[in-house]
Amino acid sequence: MSNFDHLELDGHALRLFLAVLEEGSVTAAAERLGVTQSAVSHNLTKLRRIMRDPLFTKSGRGIVATAHAQNLAEQARFLLDQMQAFASGAHFEPDGASMSLTIAANDLQRDLLLPTLFRNLEGALANIRMTVVPSLLPGPALLRENHCDLLISPRPPEGVDIVQKRLLTDHYMVFYDPDMRDAPQSDDDYLSARHITVRYGNNRTLEFDEMLENQDVERNIVLRVPNFTAIAEFLRGSNMIATLPSLLEKHALRDFARAPMPLAGLKRGTLDLPIFMCWHQRYQHDPSHLWLREQLEDVATSRLRMPIEHPVSQPTDHGQAPQRTS
């Protein structure tokens, strides 16, 4: 007998089911919804158990819906419409409202997004109490057990009861002190340079560092620090380089030059850094939580639109870095 029943169904799962059916691909559905492929797979497993049907089968490079899944499609669309109509009656009015919340984030997302979010909440609400805790390597218990109301992380926890949405996609670039060196211009320049990187207190490395290691790319890492905030003072006055998310240029590394990664032949997606906001499904249709998520999305959008204060280093026609000016 199935461990699930119809009461386990929710709008998020139905929306995901329709996305997979319409896209014919788990990868394309994940891209459309702004979630990870593993999140799609977890929710499909849940739906298969509820429906007692495989729902999709492999066909060439994609997947096709079973006859039962095809029959369910119209019902799923109808249910989603009904859910939307039901929820539209609920409304959150920030004027005069109070809010107490906890957000989990590492120092990149914390410094990039949360000061602006807090100021916006202060201006919109009658009273706000916000606690920020480190996300470290987040597991589903962080949200299931109400340790936080909202999680911001490039590594969203997996679980059929965990909802995620991509806030933005950053990419890795090379940061350096322009008073001490030029940007690396070749594979050899990059690999022979002295590198500084981040290793968190729980011994977790950056996903980028893991991907390079898995691709047998060996760098001369001479220094590891516990967070992004610590990078600046070590990088200043040094000939080291740091390959880090480009959005650090907006706060922690605003005083440094940055340049594209010169390594050729990296696997697709190595330099990408998607950042997600995640919450427990119990808050999926909560009006105040929905309003909060909208505020965070607005902040992420506005931060991406902020002008870059320092130009990206570009090679000249002769392949050399621009001359530094005093």
* pLDDT of 314 above 70: no
User: How much is the pLDDT for 257?
Assistant: 97
Residue 317: per-residue pLDDT? 38
Say if residue 313's pLDDT is above 70.
no
Which residues of the chain form CATH 3.40.190.10?
98-167+275-305, 169-272
Specify whether the CB–CB gap between 283 and 97 falls below 8 A: no
Query: Looking at residue 326, what is its pLDDT?
Result: 32
Query: So what's the architecture of 98-167+275-305 in CATH?
Result: 3-Layer(aba) Sandwich (3.40)
* Beta pairing, strands 98-105 & 127-133: parallel
pLDDT digits (tens, 9 = 90+) for 122-164: 999 999 999 999 988 788 989 988 889 999 999 899 888 899 9
CA dist 318 and 326 (Å) reads 22
Q: What's residue 7's pLDDT?
A: 64
| Banded model confidence at residue 84, pLDDT cuts 50, 70, 90 | low
Claim: this prediction has a pTM higher than 0.75: no
More confidently predicted of 179 and 155: 179
Q: Which residues contact 211 (CB under 8 A, 6 or more apart)?
A: 267, 270
Q: Of 154 and 326, which is predicted with more confidence?
A: 154
pLDDT confidence of 5, banded at 50, 70, 90? low
CATH topology of domain 169-272: D-Maltodextrin-Binding Protein; domain 2 (3.40.190)
**Taking 50 as the threshold, does the pLDDT of residue 20 lie above it?**
yes
Give tens-digit pLDDT for 259-292: 999 988 888 888 999 999 999 988 888 889 999 9
HEC profile for 130-164? EEEECCCCCCCHHHHCCCCCEEEECCCCCCCCEEE
How much is the pLDDT for 89? 60
Give per-residue pLDDT as tens, 198-213: 998 767 888 899 999 9
Specify the CATH class of 6-87 in words. mainly alpha
Mean pLDDT, the chain, as a whole number?
86
Distances (CA, A) of 132 to 148, 181, 200, 265: 9, 37, 17, 39
Model confidence pLDDT, tens digit, residues 224-272: 999 999 999 999 999 999 999 999 998 899 999 999 999 888 888 889 9
Mean pLDDT, rounded, for 166-175: 94
State pLDDT tens for residues 92-110. Answer: 889 989 999 999 999 999 9
